[in-house]
Structure 1
Amino acid sequence: MGWLYMPRSSMGGHASAKAYLDAQFTYERPRDDGSSYGLKVLASSCPGNRVYYAATQVITNGIAGEVFAIVCLVRWNPRDKEGLVLGYKDMEESMGPCEAECSARILDLLTPTESEYALDWRRRCVENLKRRARTIEDGDRIKLAAPLTFTDGHVGDEFIVQKRGRKLSFRNPDGHGRYRISGFKDLAWEIVPETKVHKTIFA
């Protein structure tokens, strides 16, 4: 499915992209044979108004069934010159979306699946969650999987962490230069074990 754009007047009174999409994917429709089919959004998020993730349950004849993930690319621009404040492109997890930053709260609601694309998407989401959950402390020595080049010409893959509250900077191990690394938590890196020498205490 391609992109769908709309003015605020077409959003049904919903004030945000998340609220609109929650409503779009929650519905019940009767069938000619008297049965009904619908969906219900159990939990959703839309971080930065860029990507919408939802755990969506299938409802058949009023009975709750499987829960799968819906992913929407979102373009939210309340100041759009043409008045098209919301645009979105929806996908199911079985289509293997590239976007894989779904929260654990939503992933935990999904029921088992045999779709290889969906399983791969869930695996990538879990890996991203683990990557973002890594912790470092002030003074840790880290090694990047690939060296970075900085504006001063320095090329390096090992740094000493300097942590001040939530702010991180990285010092060259030789003591020269302090750097910022954009998207650090999304990069591949590891902490370099350092041997600590303990003082000998004589009785």
Structure 2
Amino acid sequence: MGWLTMSRYHMGGHATAKAYLDAQFTYTRDVDGAVRGLRLLASSCPQNRTYYAAAQVMEDGVGKEVFAIVCKVLWNPKSKTGEHFGYKDMDESMGPCEDSCPAHILDLLTPTDKEHALDWRRRCRANLARRSRKIDDGDRVKLATALTFSDGHVGDEFIVMKRGRRLSFRDPETRLGYAISRFMDRDWAIVPVTKVHKTIFA
């Protein structure tokens, strides 16, 4: 499906993109004498950019399969053209490019044999594993691909400077500091450092 855009005043009283989409994907209908619909078990819309949900198929009040819904989201409350909100909806069987679904939603999905859905779930799990890698202040890291910075420097090895959750990086030779966007999404490895222990004479 294509994009559907609207003014925030046409969102049925819902104040956020997540609240509107939660309502859109929760429904019941009479179909051939049976009551069918969807029930959302969990949803998330980080930074109002992508919406993820675990939706359970309901038939006559009985829960059936649980699959993932993915929506690309446009959220611009200050839009001067009135296009405050927009979305493009898909389900996991369409193999969405957006693959940052939170673990608590993935954990709710029932087994599937749909190839594109399986590939999407694998990509999401791989991204979660990548972002959960541990890194400490002072670690030396090597990127799989060298980066070129605005000052012309090209480098693939850096010393980590960690302050809480904030990461910055220092070139080990020049000692200059750099910012690396989406670092946890990149391919990198920690460079082993040989530690020299003091010799103690009796």
TM range (shorter): over 0.9
Which one-letter code corresponds to 2:173 in the other structure? D
Find the residue that maps to 2:72 and give its secondary structure: strand
Return closer, same or farther for 1:9/1:171 CA change in 2, 3 Å cut-off: closer
1:4 maps to: 4
Find the residue that maps to 1:82 and give its secondary structure: coil
Q: How many residues align?
A: 202
Gaps of 5+ in 2: none
1:29 maps to: 29
Q: Distance in 1 between matches of 2:146 and 2:35?
A: 56
Among all aligned residue pairs of Structure 1 and Structure 2, give the percentage whose two residues are the same amino acid: 69
1:131 maps to: 130
TM-score, scaled relative to structure 1: 0.95
Find the residue that maps to 2:137 and give its secondary structure: coil
Q: Distance in 2 between matches of 1:27 and 1:59?
A: 9
Shift of 1:167: 2.7
Find the residue that maps to 1:123 and give its secondary structure: helix
Gaps of 5+ in 1: none
What are the within-5 Å matches in structure 2 for residues 59-74 of structure 1? Answer: 59-74=58-73
Find the residue that maps to 1:20 and give its secondary structure: helix
Runs (4+) off by over 4 Å:
none
Q: Distance in 2 between matches of 1:79 and 1:144?
A: 39
Shift of 1:165: 2.6
What are the within-5 Å matches in structure 2 for residues 18-167 of structure 1? Answer: 18-31=18-31, 33-167=32-166
After superposition, the C-alpha distances for 1:167-198 in whole angstroms (9 at most, x for unaligned) are: 32211112432211111111110001111121
Shift of 1:56: 0.3
Further displaced range: 80-89 or 142-151: 80-89
1:182 maps to: 181
After superposition, the C-alpha distances for 1:127-154 in whole angstroms (9 at most, x for unaligned) are: 1111111121111110000001112221
Q: Distance in 2 between matches of 1:36 and 1:106?
A: 25
Q: Distance in 1 between matches of 2:170 and 2:7?
A: 48
After superposition, the C-alpha distances for 1:92-132 in whole angstroms (9 at most, x for unaligned) are: 00000000010001100000000110011011111111111
Shift of 1:48: 1.0
